[in-house]
Structure 1
Amino acid sequence: MKKIILAALLLCGAIRAGAQSPASEGPAEPYRVEVAFDKTVHILFPSAVKYVDLGSANILAGKADGAENVVRVKAAVRGFTGATSFTVITASGVLYTFEALYADSPAQLTVELEDWLHRDPYGPFASRQTYVRLSELGDETPLVVNRIMYTIYKRDARHIKTVGSKRFGVQLLLKGIYVQDELFYFHTSLRNLSKVDYDIDRVRFRIADRKVAKRTAVQETVIEPVCRFNEIAAVQAGGTVRNVWVFRKFTIPDDKVLIMDVFEHNGGRHQSFMIGNTDLVDARTITELKVR
């Protein structure tokens, strides 16, 4: 049944067949895990799990209840011989292949996979992996998108110096906008100049009217990023955090603006800034970054 579901996704375009990165470096070896009949092995992935497929009926595997990035695996048959396999696809577009062998006492009951796609997307390990094309990323592969985000983050340039907000000792800035094919990349920073930690409740992007008359209903549209470089929950006192947000390409009517809101958890130090259509059309191209 799971194979049928994946085939339907492929047909509908939600997940399209992906290409493996440079064949000259050779494919990555499957991860090897030991499973038991009386014990459960938990595998922690860097991003949310979207799909799990089993190679045989000798094992049971599925997403852990209440956790988007955890898969639990155990043997369905006590003492099965030989090896079987299972495959996992995550929201980052990475396809993981595992080889499972039976052991009464598995060497590891918890396996945490390194987030190499964000830490070093130019490294040989990232280049050997298999990726699926995600419809929300258009024609770009997840590896290319992560390399672009990584390059923007590491270079930390500030091309836009007029968009931001500063209230209650907290400063939110838009440092740059980049464009590649069908995707926008927004580089932002959040600096906490106060002596009180800033816990982030949520971040929202919305298109709203530039001017709203009193007693007039606000017409706005919330837009969701299709990818982000970091998952940020807090900014410590005196600290600064940066992020890169990826959106499908869009434009803004002259009478509207794009607003970024950052809300403090159990606090009132809400930050926001407005982006006009001029800022979008003046976006820098990715070729200026010289992404490898």
Structure 2
Amino acid sequence: KEPEKLSLEMVDFLHSGEGNLPSNKADIYFKELGNETPTLVRLLMSTIHKQDKRLVKHISAKQFGMQFGLKAIYAHNGLLYFHTSIRNTTNMRYQIDYVTFKVVDKAVTTQTAIQETILQPLRAYNDLAVVAPKSELRTIYALESFSLPEGKILEISLHELNGGRTLTFTVDNKDLVRARAIDDLELRF
């Protein structure tokens, strides 16, 4: 049997205009987002960004006049939201090449094969390519919910385009399991 529609105009469903929803509004679910609609995920990420709370104060990397840190971890319906901050205190702009999320061994001894698992963010909010001089950039990443086995840590790295200023910080399982539930976060439309 042939499908009713071969293509779907996403702009009709994910309308960004304020106060006027499209007439054919429907909930679309992507397998990667589990039970969440892309609209709700975007709304959650937007609310986290607007509230700008710093719930995690001990996880960051600082060098080369740059600081890359974790402000908060939130959990909702099988997704983890990582609120990160990049502060540039130099007079040079910082061009972001990419950000990696890897599960790696906590302690690696010499002559040991390194095992790492790369995690792909499902969504990113305010994911800009440049941090201007003397400024701060905050980004929220949504990842599928996970926990870390014994002896493993989450390593989050920020890589500079055509440069050597790579910043890396680690997150332990004890920090992951303390993720704040988004249920008590007031959504702002």
Is this a same-fold pair by TM over 0.5?
Answer: yes
C-alpha displacement of 1:127: 7.4
Report the counterpart of residue 10 of structure 2 in structure 1.
89
- Alpha-carbon distance in structure 2 between the residues aligned to 1:154 and 1:225: 20
- Alpha-carbon distance in structure 2 between the residues aligned to 1:257 and 1:146: 27
Letter in 1 for 2:129: A
String of CA shifts for 1:249-271, please: whole Å, max 9, x gaps.
10001200001011011111100
- 1:266 counterpart = 2:168: no
String of CA shifts for 1:51-70, please: whole Å, max 9, x gaps.
x63xxxxxxxxxxxxxxxxx
Report the counterpart of residue 195 of structure 1 in structure 2.
91
Report the counterpart of residue 19 of structure 2 in structure 1.
124
SS at match of 1:130: coil
Report the counterpart of residue 107 of structure 1 in structure 2.
none
Letter in 2 for 1:232: L
Q: How does 1:56-75 map to 2 (within 5 A)?
A: none
Distance 1:135 1:199, change over 3 A: same
SS at match of 2:183: helix
* Unaligned runs of at least 5 residues, structure 2: none
- Alpha-carbon distance in structure 2 between the residues aligned to 1:202 and 1:259: 14
String of CA shifts for 1:34-92, please: whole Å, max 9, x gaps.
xxxxxxxxxxxxxxxxxx63xxxxxxxxxxxxxxxxxxxxxxxxxxxxxxxxx4237xx
- 1:183 counterpart = 2:104: no
Residues 13 and 22 of structure 2 are in contact (CA less than 8 Å); yes or no, is this contact kept in structure 1? no
Structure of larger gyration radius = 1
Letter in 2 for 1:220: E
Residue 215 (structure 1) aligned to one of 108, 111, 131: 111
Distance 1:215 1:288, change over 3 A: same
RMSD of aligned residue pairs (Cα, Å): 2.2
SS at match of 2:162: coil
C-alpha displacement of 1:181: 1.6
Letter in 2 for 1:89: M
Percent of pairs identical after alignment? 35
Letter in 1 for 2:9: V
- Alpha-carbon distance in structure 1 between the residues aligned to 2:36 and 2:10: 17
Letter in 2 for 1:159: L
Residues 66 and 89 of structure 2 are in contact (CA less than 8 Å); yes or no, is this contact kept in structure 1? yes
C-alpha displacement of 1:217: 2.0
SS at match of 1:158: coil
Report the counterpart of residue 31 of structure 2 in structure 1.
135
Report the counterpart of residue 284 of structure 1 in structure 2.
180
Higher relative contact order (CA 8 A, sep 6+): 2
- Alpha-carbon distance in structure 2 between the residues aligned to 1:232 and 1:196: 16
Q: How does 1:29-44 map to 2 (within 5 A)?
A: none
SS at match of 1:208: strand
- Alpha-carbon distance in structure 1 between the residues aligned to 2:184 and 2:46: 14
C-alpha displacement of 1:220: 0.2
C-alpha displacement of 1:234: 0.9
Letter in 1 for 2:184: E
Residue 147 (structure 1) aligned to one of 23, 26, 43: 43
Report the counterpart of residue 156 of structure 1 in structure 2.
52
SS at match of 1:124: coil
User: What TM-score does the superposition give when structure 2 sets the normalisation length?
Assistant: 0.90
Count of aligned positions? 187
SS at match of 1:133: coil
Report the counterpart of residue 78 of structure 1 in structure 2.
none
Letter in 1 for 2:94: Y
